[in-house]
Chains A and B, each alone.
Chain A
Amino acid sequence: MTSDIERVYRDESRRVLATLIRLLGDFDLAEEALQEAFAAALVQWEHDGVPANPRAWLISTGRFKAIDQLRRRARYDASVAALVHEMDGASWPVTPIDGDGVEDDRLRLIFTCCHPALAADARIALTLREVCGLDTEAIAHAFLVPPPTLAQRIVRAKGKIRDARIPYQVPSRADLPDRLDAVLHVIYLVFNEGYSASSGDSLTRPDLSAEAIRLARLLVDLLPESEAIGLLALMLLHEARRDARQSSSGDLVLLDEQDRTLWDRELIDEGCALVQRALALGPPGPYALQAAIAAVHGEAPRADATDWEEIVGLYDLLMEAAPSPVIELNRAAAIAMRDGEEAGLTLLDAILERGDLADYHLAHSARGALCRRLGKNAEAITSYRRALALATQEPERRFLQRNIGELEALSS
């Protein structure tokens, strides 16, 4: 029985919570109601067995528990009394508690947690807490912040949702592109934190990436927009290479040196199919294009069999859709592969000269690699040193130090 309830908790608790938030209009009250509903289930299901529709049972039990709770509070607080009356009356709308209604609630929850009126770091924390159900400790650990700081962020965000009345709704068609962008951004940040942790001695935190992929799958199920599909494809294609991008000693292995037999073929196939699906839905956005680039890499059996012509073409489209110095840098690296190192270096130096990427360690590291391939060892050492001064992640620092060491050995 306990394992049955555990299974229901795992499968249903986030859905039940999303609906309770809509019914009760309050995150904290809904969370309490969720816990109480499961506590009640533990007792009652022991005798009566798991009901036919456990989700509906939990939602209605949670709602009653919350109303009880409010009634108890109302004895001390007149302002709550009016609310109880409002919720208790026959006027309470009869809401569907399974089928479409519930899935809409999950989408409402995602859009509310990722609302642009919330602070950026709070959006991430709130989404992982409420939508994914991670506990505060785990989120704090993943983002290397003290748990009280993270808890504070969540409390503030919930406070703003309540006080500024951020609505619990899926945005209208007109607002959707912008708001969806904010959601995708949160998911991608979570993934990247798991894929390429911004600091610390381990290269990746797979749990966070898995959570981001789960979220994106949910979003694609609920709202199959091109960019949502593109983001899911992009993350799967990156995830497929996870085992290959780190050596057994924990060092960084670049794409062209990776052992491609370590790539997860299933993920690559799924990613490539999703790219096709995203591209078929209309002019591709930045996520679909980045996924398409990752798909071209994924389909190349060897590094020297990469279709660089195709990749440069996709970067050109990406520069039109979402121009940025980092995209320009990646395009320069692709040009270096298609037209030779000199051509790439000329472009890269022009970008660095503008100063946009002066503090970006990967720009200097890329320059070091191009100079090294051209035999300009002294210049390569200078660029790698500049990168080393800016890099914070241990495996990346070791990678740079190794290159500097090898080049110094050559020139001495």
Chain B
Amino acid sequence: MKYLCLIYDQEAKWATMSKAESDAIYAEYGAFTNSIKESGHYIGGNPLQPTHTGTTVRVRNGKISTTDGPFAETKEQLGGYYLIEAKDLNEALQIGSRIPSARSGSIEVRPVQAM
């Protein structure tokens, strides 16, 4: 079964971080990604550019409207994702809890709907 792990964290923290600090986090992410590739749980995953690069688009009554920024202003922002394969929610949560940002932000684990 596929699960999407959505990574939420405070984007503002990255701006104030030293290079050594952010390097350490990237290294941790690299090690985590390798470990779930080796265990066969990894399907895909990427960090996202910051929310100010986001654009929200809607179509109402056939008209496109475009607005700057994310859909909702929240305390923690969506900053990346992993798509994983897990046998059940317990295993997916166990993997989610190992994503480095779980310790500073939060990870939403959502089952992917089979089509």
Contact = CB atoms under 8 A, between A and B. Distances in A.
B88 interface: yes
B50 interface: no
Contact of A167 (B88, B110, B111, B113): B88
Interface residues of A, number: 9
A225 B18 CA distance: 47
A171 B93 CA distance: 13
Contacts of A165: 1, 88-89, 111
Interface in B35-90: 87-90
Interface string A157-174: 000000111110101000
A117 interface: yes
Contacts of A171: 90
A164 B111 contact: yes
B90 to A, nearest CB: 5
A169 B89 CA distance: 11
Contacts of A163: 111, 113
Contacts of A117: 89, 93
Which of B87, B90, B110 has the most chain A CB atoms closer than 10 A to its own CB? B90
Contacts of B88: 165-167
Interface string B87-101: 111100100000000
Nearest to B109: A164
A264 B110 CA distance: 50
B3 to A, nearest CB: 8
- Does more than half of chain A's interface fall in helix, strand or loop, or is it mixed? loop
Contacts of A169: 90
Contacts of B113: 163
Interface string A170-197: 0100010000000000000000000000
Interface in A122-166: 163-166
A117 B3 CA distance: 14
Contacts of A175: 90
Interface string A83-118: 000000000000000000000000000000000010
B114 to A, nearest CB: 10
Contacts of A164: 89, 110-111
Nearest to A116: B93
B31 to A, nearest CB: 21
A166 B89 CA distance: 5
A117 B111 CA distance: 12
Nearest to B91: A167
Interface string A385-411: 000000000000000000000000000
B96 to A, nearest CB: 11
Nearest to A117: B89
Interface string B101-115: 000000000110100
A169 B91 CA distance: 12
A163 B3 CA distance: 11
Nearest to A162: B111
Contacts of A166: 88-90
Which of B88, B89, B111, B113 has the most chain A CB atoms closer than 10 A to its own CB? B89
Contacts of B89: 117, 164-167
B13 to A, nearest CB: 27
A171 to B, nearest CB: 8
17 contacts: A117-B89, A117-B93, A163-B113, A164-B89, A164-B110, A165-B1, A165-B88, A165-B89, A165-B111, A166-B88, A166-B89, A167-B87, A167-B88, A167-B89, A169-B90, A171-B90, A175-B90
Interface of B: 1, 87-90, 93, 110-111, 113
Given A163-B111, A164-B110, A167-B88, 17 more contacts: A117-B89, A117-B93, A163-B113, A164-B89, A164-B111, A165-B1, A165-B88, A165-B89, A165-B111, A166-B88, A166-B90, A167-B87, A167-B89, A167-B90, A169-B90, A171-B90, A175-B90
Nearest 8 A/B pairs, CB to CB: A167-B88, A164-B111, A165-B88, A164-B89, A166-B89, A165-B1, A167-B90, A165-B89
